């Protein structure tokens, strides 16, 4: 055994890349989970093609075939998956070629030498071998015959060669575990559970993992190993959750807190399907997950369940939300609680379904017929999804309204360390049921919230009819009276505005007034937060407001904006929140937009901040 | 149901007056439904009428039970969600040929496929009435309407063939002009567990008057209707007795007493046949070559979707124990961050109990 230096790091960013069938998502998430459990804070960026098993080694861009998983682990405030990886694990030439452009000079490249055949180089479009032509001189290269060594390690096992080859990702993972001083036990435990019914495959993967670990230890490949210190997290119990998982947990919790059955009506769509997969597991919690025949049936079934007294959810992505919009308007008109989750992806149309974007905001706010205001909330990071789900349920039930929750592909598939709440400390969600049949009127309202009361079929004495036709105020009888229609439209609008009085004022990170306020929403939280704190650290006059409430907007936001000379709104769209702010507050905000299916890098936001500050008129010199 | 108050027809009429055109078949159907409701022994608060859009879909407003007038074509999906969320309810869906078979065709077949326990009354007037005369998917080819001044080119659907093709566990047909018979069919539908489709041949007096005249006309109806009865030969006609015989795999109309044909040659109706073949034969019989079959085409027992969903929930609760939030939160790999200076972490359950 060789002794190596052990270098302490406060953070590191690693990217695993290979073909979509190479198991890179798995390798990355195994590394992530183990890192979480040894105490690192982290943020992940899974990035995979829409194809399930695209042809091996074909260049993307061509580059659709390469799948990658990036994770930043660290000691403090890891809010993004890292701008530039410090280490790339590339399982073949195509994975190298596609990912090299994001690798800074001096970074470490760990390559599977076995895959650098003439054929693979050719398919990846390499004219000469990058391993020998000097083009990688600026990097620290670690070349290992990962595939061959995996096959050697599994020689004794009675398995076909392709099955053995498939274990190479665990060999690579083993190497990384040694390099970053991580224990193997968590992954071996996972392998045992995963392959409980195929012990031979379990054996093979475990062997590959430990072979990789020991190979890295003995072969003199790495000059040093690294120690990433544990994060200073708040004391408590933790687990890692993806955004979609956290939404599912939040919804189950909300239903318990409201003492309502939980009903999910949905239709498979990337990247929202995991919400269905998650909720389908929890039948012992009374969760009903209904995979409908289409998106419209999904929302309609949810609305039917809501009418029947369930906490009803429908989950989808942008194209699905378009299909659901007619039913949303019925939910608005009949004032029934409903949560629509839109896990946004790059559009329009099928777009790039596995890549992230924030381009459904205007659809969420305005994409319906008639005057149909709706409450819209957005999640900021995977762990935030839990809290947003709870709040959405609270609002839906209290105000008797549908609520749209915007997530995105980046949040949905990313993971974070979630501090497990104490179930006993969670607030109950109060459902208002009418009690006096004599006095009951379907559209009579609570004075504070303007929400109507929720009488459900089965309650004797409260039989009533609701529907899409305009209702007479209070009685709910069909009414074509023009003034009544205007009154009801106004009441529906006022009710949504009322929500702002019940949610906290918008908080600001940084100076209470100054030169620049950066306003963000949704999944850009981490990059914006990091860029703003970085700028603040350099003494710049920048503050950050991250919005969860997109409709109604926070009641103090208009006033807040006036305290800064300039507002910058970075978004993964062409300026949708910016438009909304300009309309609401008569501002002329600066925009920073990106539409590449990828989250913002901290650097990009920081450049935007610097540019915005530079564009301000020079202040009069103090004399 | 001893504590269920005895209800009368009147108890099911809401305070809103029906506003269909005078003479519309919908009134007769409403009447029949109001008459049947008190006979079912179901408390009023457990009955829900869900409808889509169209003339017929105004129906829920006229019933004094719970009611939900929804979206064009989507009533089946909404009723499905409602019934799943509360299987205790008696859910009745009201729809028309345009609503259920055109814009709502997908939900219609999938409700049937799942065998969700809803009673679906399909008012088939072979026209769009509320939008003032356009042809529907059940309008015969060549129909002249406002949207087809030179005659429609579309081939028409048979609601029965579509339902049986989707393996409806219950399909029946009745006419709006014979209230007692309609009531008996509605009672059969109510008793069925699963998706029960009742196609009512309904007259739109304004835009498609007489569309079903061939079947409903008093003078000729005994010749033109085939009243299905389980276990009975398919015989019709008052003066001349005719019957349905299978010739190879093709049904044909034969006259009893002619060419030595006796009752023994006539097809016997079997609504309980496990294969839907016979019901499908019936669905293909149309004027003028065949009498219009009325009555229960098919009524077979099968598990309902709503029962199965709740059974699965119960089974898993028994297996895994009632879900508690603490258990939920701590499923999967969890670890503790201690308050100590070293910040030593401890993996709690590095073998999740929930994969
Ligand atoms: S248009 Fe036809 S179907 Fe509609 S109410 Fe009038 S008669 Fe009845």
Return mean pLDDT, chain A: 94
Question: Does A434 lie in the same domain as A315?
Answer: yes
A333 within a domain of the structure (yes/no): yes
* Residues in chain A within 8 Å Cβ distance of B110: 292-293, 297
Q: What is the pTM of this model?
A: 0.94
Name the domain boundary from A207, A228, A249: A228
Name the domain boundary from A446, A474, A503: A503
A477 within a domain of the structure (yes/no): yes
- Beta carbons within 10 angstroms of residue A122's beta carbon: 12
- Beta carbons within 10 angstroms of residue A616's beta carbon: 12
Q: If pLDDT is split at 50, 70 and 90, which confidence band does A63 have?
A: very low
Sheet with A87-90, strands from edge to edge, namely A41-47, A66-74, A11-19, A87-90, A108-112, A140-144
A22 within a domain of the structure (yes/no): yes
Question: Does A407 lie in the same domain as A307?
Answer: yes
The residues with which B253 forms a beta bridge, in sequence order, are B244
A509 within a domain of the structure (yes/no): no
Option in A238, A263, A423 nearest B335 (CB): A238
Is the Cβ–Cβ distance between B78 and A300 less than 8 Å? yes
pLDDT of residue A48: 84
Q: If pLDDT is split at 50, 70 and 90, which confidence band does A342 have?
A: very high
What spacing in Å lies between the alpha carbon of B99 and ligand 1's midpoint? Answer: 14
Is the Cβ–Cβ distance between A313 and A263 less than 8 Å? yes
Please judge whether A238 and B338 are an interchain contact, meaning their C-beta atoms are less than 8 angstroms apart: no
Mean pLDDT of A321-347: 98
Are β-strands A66-74 and A11-19 bridged in parallel, bridged antiparallel, or unpaired? Answer: antiparallel
Asked whether residue B333 carries a pLDDT value surpassing 90, the answer given is: no
* Residues in chain A within 8 Å Cβ distance of B324: 423
Name the domain boundary from A503, A522, A547: A503
Ligand 1, pocket-test mutation among B18, B20, B29, most atoms within 8 A of CB: B20
> Over the stretch A226-248, which tens digit does the pLDDT of each residue have?
989 888 888 999 999 999 999 99
Question: Does A204 lie in the same domain as A116?
Answer: yes
Q: Does A618 touch chain B (CB under 8 A)?
A: no
- Find the distance separating the first CA and the last CA of chain A, reported in whole Å: 68
Option in B14, B110, B347 nearest A293 (CB): B110
Question: Does A189 lie in the same domain as A51?
Answer: yes
DSSP letters spanning A439-505: T--TB-B-TTT-PBP---TT-TT---EEESS-B-TBT--B---HHHHHHHHHHHHHHHHHHHHHSPP
A466 within a domain of the structure (yes/no): yes
The CATH number given to whatever domain includes residue A273 is 3.40.50.970
Interface test with A, best of B7, B17, B44, B85 (most A CBs within 10 A): B85
> Over the stretch B178-191, which tens digit does the pLDDT of each residue have?
999 999 999 999 99
The CATH number given to whatever domain includes residue A601 is 3.40.50.920
What spacing in Å lies between the alpha carbon of B133 and ligand 1's midpoint? Answer: 10
pLDDT of residue A555: 98
Asked whether residue A417 carries a pLDDT value surpassing 70, the answer given is: yes
**Pairwise CA distance, residues A283 & B318, whole Å:** 11
Mean pLDDT of A128-135: 93
pLDDT of residue A144: 95
Mean pLDDT of B73-81: 98
pLDDT of residue B352: 37
Asked whether residue B196 carries a pLDDT value surpassing 60, the answer given is: yes
The residue in chain A having the minimum alpha-carbon distance to the alpha carbon of residue B316 is A284
Asked whether residue B346 carries a pLDDT value surpassing 60, the answer given is: no
Domains in chain B, please, with CATH?
9-211+303-307 (3.40.50.970)
Question: Does A223 lie in the same domain as A247?
Answer: no
User: Which residue in this structure is represented by tokens 């019936």?
Assistant: B282
Q: Does B130 touch chain A (CB under 8 A)?
A: no
Question: Does A207 lie in the same domain as A273?
Answer: no
The CATH number given to whatever domain includes residue A60 is 3.40.920.10
Q: If pLDDT is split at 50, 70 and 90, which confidence band does B82 have?
A: very high
Taking Cα atoms as reference points, which of A305, A285, A313, A265 lies closest to residue B314? A285
Asked whether residue B351 carries a pLDDT value surpassing 70, the answer given is: no
The residue in chain B having the minimum alpha-carbon distance to the alpha carbon of residue A255 is B325
Are β-strands A262-266 and A311-316 bridged in parallel, bridged antiparallel, or unpaired? Answer: parallel
Asked whether residue B95 carries a pLDDT value surpassing 70, the answer given is: yes
Taking Cα atoms as reference points, which of B161, B159, B163 lies closest to residue B202? B159
pLDDT of residue A2: 46
Mean pLDDT of A85-93: 96
Mean pLDDT of B292-313: 98
* Residues 412-451, chain A, touching B (beta carbon < 8 A): 420-421, 423, 426
**Pairwise CA distance, residues B323 & B320, whole Å:** 8
Percent pLDDT > 70 in chain B is 94
What spacing in Å lies between the alpha carbon of A517 and ligand 1's midpoint? Answer: 61
**Pairwise CA distance, residues A255 & A243, whole Å:** 18
Q: Does A228 touch chain B (CB under 8 A)?
A: no
- Beta carbons within 10 angstroms of residue B310's beta carbon: 15
A34 within a domain of the structure (yes/no): yes
* Residues 481-500, chain A, touching B (beta carbon < 8 A): none
Question: Does A322 lie in the same domain as A201?
Answer: no
Asked whether residue B220 carries a pLDDT value surpassing 50, the answer given is: yes
Q: If pLDDT is split at 50, 70 and 90, which confidence band does B347 have?
A: low
A508 within a domain of the structure (yes/no): no
Q: Does A38 touch chain B (CB under 8 A)?
A: yes
B195 Cβ partners below 8 Å, 6+ apart? B111, B112, B114, B115, B116, B117, B118, B120, B168, B169, B170
Total domains in chain A come to: 3
B124 lines ligand 1 (CB under 6 A): no
Mean pLDDT of B189-203: 98
Q: If pLDDT is split at 50, 70 and 90, which confidence band does B353 have?
A: very low
Lookup: tokens for A112 = 């599977």
Is the Cβ–Cβ distance between A301 and B80 less than 8 Å? yes
Give the burial class of B169: count Cβ atoms within 10 A of its Cβ; 0-12 exposed, 13-18 middle, 19 or more buried.
buried
pLDDT of residue B2: 47
Asked whether residue B344 carries a pLDDT value surpassing 80, the answer given is: no
A401 within a domain of the structure (yes/no): yes
Option in A233, A305, A477 nearest B16 (CB): A477
The residue in chain B having the minimum alpha-carbon distance to the alpha carbon of residue A465 is B67
Question: Does A530 lie in the same domain as A431?
Answer: no
Asked whether residue A1 carries a pLDDT value surpassing 80, the answer given is: no
The residue in chain B having the minimum alpha-carbon distance to the alpha carbon of residue A298 is B77
Question: Does A606 lie in the same domain as A487?
Answer: no
Option in B74, B322, B325 nearest A253 (CB): B325
Question: Does A437 lie in the same domain as A330?
Answer: yes
Option in A186, A284, A297 nearest B110 (CB): A297
Mean pLDDT of A294-315: 98
Option in A286, A457, A460 nearest B48 (CB): A457
Biggest distance spanned by C-alpha atoms of chain B: 104
> Over the stretch A345-402, which tens digit does the pLDDT of each residue have?
999 999 999 999 999 999 999 999 999 999 999 999 999 999 999 999 999 999 999 9
What spacing in Å lies between the alpha carbon of B187 and ligand 1's midpoint? Answer: 25
Which H or E element spans position A143?
strand A140-144
**Pairwise CA distance, residues B54 & B97, whole Å:** 9
**Pairwise CA distance, residues B278 & B283, whole Å:** 9
Residue nearest atom 2 in ligand 1 by C-alpha distance: B204
**Pairwise CA distance, residues A69 & B204, whole Å:** 63
Percent pLDDT > 90 in chain B is 90
Mean pLDDT of B142-159: 96
pLDDT of residue A316: 98
Question: Does A174 lie in the same domain as A107?
Answer: yes
Ligand 1, pocket-test mutation among B99, B204, B209, most atoms within 8 A of CB: B204
pLDDT of residue A20: 84
What spacing in Å lies between the alpha carbon of B131 and ligand 1's midpoint? Answer: 10
* Residues in chain A within 8 Å Cβ distance of B333: 33, 36-37, 186, 239-240
Is the Cβ–Cβ distance between A460 and B43 less than 8 Å? yes
> Over the stretch A513-556, which tens digit does the pLDDT of each residue have?
999 999 999 999 999 999 999 999 999 999 999 999 999 999 99
Lookup: tokens for B136 = 């529907």
Question: Does A476 lie in the same domain as A458?
Answer: yes
Is the Cβ–Cβ distance between A271 and A413 less than 8 Å? yes
> Over the stretch B21-31, which tens digit does the pLDDT of each residue have?
999 999 999 99
> Over the stretch A244-288, which tens digit does the pLDDT of each residue have?
999 999 999 999 999 999 999 999 999 999 999 999 999 999 999
Asked whether residue B354 carries a pLDDT value surpassing 80, the answer given is: no
* Residues in chain A within 8 Å Cβ distance of B17: none
Phi, psi of B315 (to 5 degrees): -60, -45
Domain that holds residue A323: 235-503
> Over the stretch B222-234, which tens digit does the pLDDT of each residue have?
999 999 999 999 9
Please judge whether B16 and A292 are an interchain contact, meaning their C-beta atoms are less than 8 angstroms apart: no
User: Which residue in this structure is represented by tokens 């990337």?
Assistant: A270
Residue contacts between A and B (CB atoms, under 8 Å):
229
Mean pLDDT of B144-163: 97
């Amino acid at each position: 055994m060789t002794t190596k230096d052990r270098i302490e790091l406060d953070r590191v960013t690693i990217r695993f890349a290979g073909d979509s069938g190479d198991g890179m998502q798995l390798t990355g998430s195994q590394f992530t989970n183990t890192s979480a459990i040894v105490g690192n804070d982290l943020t992940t960026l899974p990035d995979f093609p829409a194809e399930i098993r695209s042809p091996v080694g074909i260049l993307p861009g061509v580059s659709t075939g390469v799948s990658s998983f990036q994770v930043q682990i660290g000691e403090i405030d890891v809010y993004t998956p890292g701008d530039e990886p410090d280490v790339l694990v590339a399982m073949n030439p195509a994975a190298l070629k596609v990912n090299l452009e994001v690798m800074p000079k001096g970074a470490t490249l760990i390559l599977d030498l076995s895959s650098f055949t003439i054929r693979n180089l050719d398919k990846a479009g390499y004219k000469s071998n990058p391993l020998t032509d000097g083009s990688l001189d600026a990097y620290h290269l670690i070349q290992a015959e990962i595939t061959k060594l995996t096959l050697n390690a599994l020689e004794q096992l009675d398995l076909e060669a392709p099955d053995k080859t498939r274990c190479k990702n665990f060999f690579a993972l083993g190497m990384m575990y040694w390099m970053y001083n991580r224990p193997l036990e968590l992954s071996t435990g996972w392998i045992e559970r995963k392959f409980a019914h195929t012990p031979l495959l379990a054996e093979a993967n475990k062997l590959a993992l430990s072979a990789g670990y020991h190979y890295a230890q003995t072969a003199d490949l790495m000059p040093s190993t690294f120690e990433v210190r544990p994060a200073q997290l708040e004391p408590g119990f933790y687990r890692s959750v993806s955004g979609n998982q956290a939404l599912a947990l939040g919804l189950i919790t909300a239903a318990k807190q409201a003492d309502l059955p939980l009903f999910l009506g949905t239709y498979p769509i990337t990247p929202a399907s995991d919400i269905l997969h998650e909720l389908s597991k929890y039948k012992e919690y009374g969760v009903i997950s209904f995979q409908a025949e289409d998106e419209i049936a999904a929302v309609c079934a949810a609305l039917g369940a809501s009418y029947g007294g369930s906490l009803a959810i429908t989950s989808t992505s942008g194209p699905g939300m378009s299909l659901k919009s007619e039913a949303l308007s019925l939910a608005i008109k009949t004032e029934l609680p409903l949560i629509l989750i839109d896990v946004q992806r790059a559009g329009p149309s099928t777009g790039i379904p596995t890549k992230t974007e924030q381009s459904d905001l205007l659809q969420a706010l305005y994409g319906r017929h008639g005057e149909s205001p709706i409450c819209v909330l957005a999640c900021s990071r995977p762990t935030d999804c839990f809290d947003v789900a709870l709040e959405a349920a609270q609002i839906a039930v209290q105000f008797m309204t549908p609520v749209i929750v915007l997530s995105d592909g980046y949040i949905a598939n990313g993971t974070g360390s979630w501090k497990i709440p104490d179930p006993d400390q969670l607030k109950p969600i109060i459902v208002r049921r009418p009690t006096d049949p004599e006095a009951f009127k379907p559209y009579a309202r609570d004075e504070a919230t303007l929400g109507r009361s929720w009488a459900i079929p089965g309650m004797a004495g409260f039989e009533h009819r609701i529907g899409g036709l305009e209702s007479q105020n209070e009685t709910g009888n069909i009414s074509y009276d023009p003034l009544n229609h205007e009154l009801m439209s106004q009441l529906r609008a006022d009710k949504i505005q009322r929500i702002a009085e019940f949610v906290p004022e918008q908080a600001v990170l940084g100076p209470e007034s100054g030169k620049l306020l950066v306003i963000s929403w949704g999944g850009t939280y981490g990059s914006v937060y990091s860029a703003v704190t970085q700028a603040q650290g350099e003494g710049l006059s920048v503050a950050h407001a991250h919005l969860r409430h997109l409709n109604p907007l926070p009641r103090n936001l208009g006033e807040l904006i006036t305290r800064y000379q300039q507002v910058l709104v970075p978004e993964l769209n062409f300026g949708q929140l910016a438009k909304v702010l300009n309309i609401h507050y008569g501002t002329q905000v600066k925009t920073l937009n990106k539409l590449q299916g990828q989250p913002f890098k901290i650097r990009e936001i920081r450049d935007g901040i610097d540019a915005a500050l530079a564009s301000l008129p020079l202040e009069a010199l103090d004399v | 149901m001893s504590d269920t108050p005895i209800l009368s027809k009147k108890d099911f009429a809401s305070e809103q007056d029906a506003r269909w055109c005078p003479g519309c078949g919908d009134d007769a159907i409403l009447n029949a439904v109001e008459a049947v409701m008190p006979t079912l022994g179901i408390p009023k608060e457990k009955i829900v009428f869900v409808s889509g859009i169209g003339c017929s879909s105004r129906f829920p407003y006229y019933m004094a039970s719970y009611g939900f007038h929804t979206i064009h074509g989507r009533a089946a999906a909404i009723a499905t969600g409602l019934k799943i969320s509360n299987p205790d309810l008696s859910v009745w869906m009201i729809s028309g040929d345009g609503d259920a078979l055109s814009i709502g065709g997908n939900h219609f077949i999938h409700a049937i496929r799942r065998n969700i326990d809803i009673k679906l009354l399909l008012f088939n007037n072979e026209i769009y009435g509320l939008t003032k005369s356009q042809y529907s998917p059940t309008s015969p080819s060549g129909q002249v309407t406002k949207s087809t001044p030179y005659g429609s080119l579309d081939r028409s659907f048979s609601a029965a063939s579509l339902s049986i093709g989707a393996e409806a566990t219950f399909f029946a047909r009745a006419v709006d002009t014979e209230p007692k018979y309609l009531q008996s069919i509605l009672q059969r539908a109510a008793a069925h567990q699963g998706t029960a489709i009742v196609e009512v041949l309904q007259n739109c007096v304004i835009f498609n008057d007489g569309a079903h005249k061939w079947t409903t006309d008093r003078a000729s109806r005994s010749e033109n209707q085939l009243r299905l009865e389980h276990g009975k030969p398919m015989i019709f006609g008052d003066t001349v007795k005719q019957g349905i015989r299978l010739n190879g795999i093709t049904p044909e109309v034969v006259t009893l007493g002619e060419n030595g044909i006796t009752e023994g040659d006539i097809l016997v109706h079997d609504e309980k046949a496990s294969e839907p073949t016979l019901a499908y034969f019936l669905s293909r019989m149309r004027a003028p070559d065949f009498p219009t079959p009325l009555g229960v085409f098919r009524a077979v027992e099968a598990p309902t979707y709503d029962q199965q969903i709740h059974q699965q929930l119960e089974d898993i609760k028994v297996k895994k124990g009632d879900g508690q939030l603490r258990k939920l939160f701590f499923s999967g790999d969890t670890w503790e961050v201690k308050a100590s200076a070293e910040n030593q972490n401890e993996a709690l359950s590095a073998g999740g109990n929930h994969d």
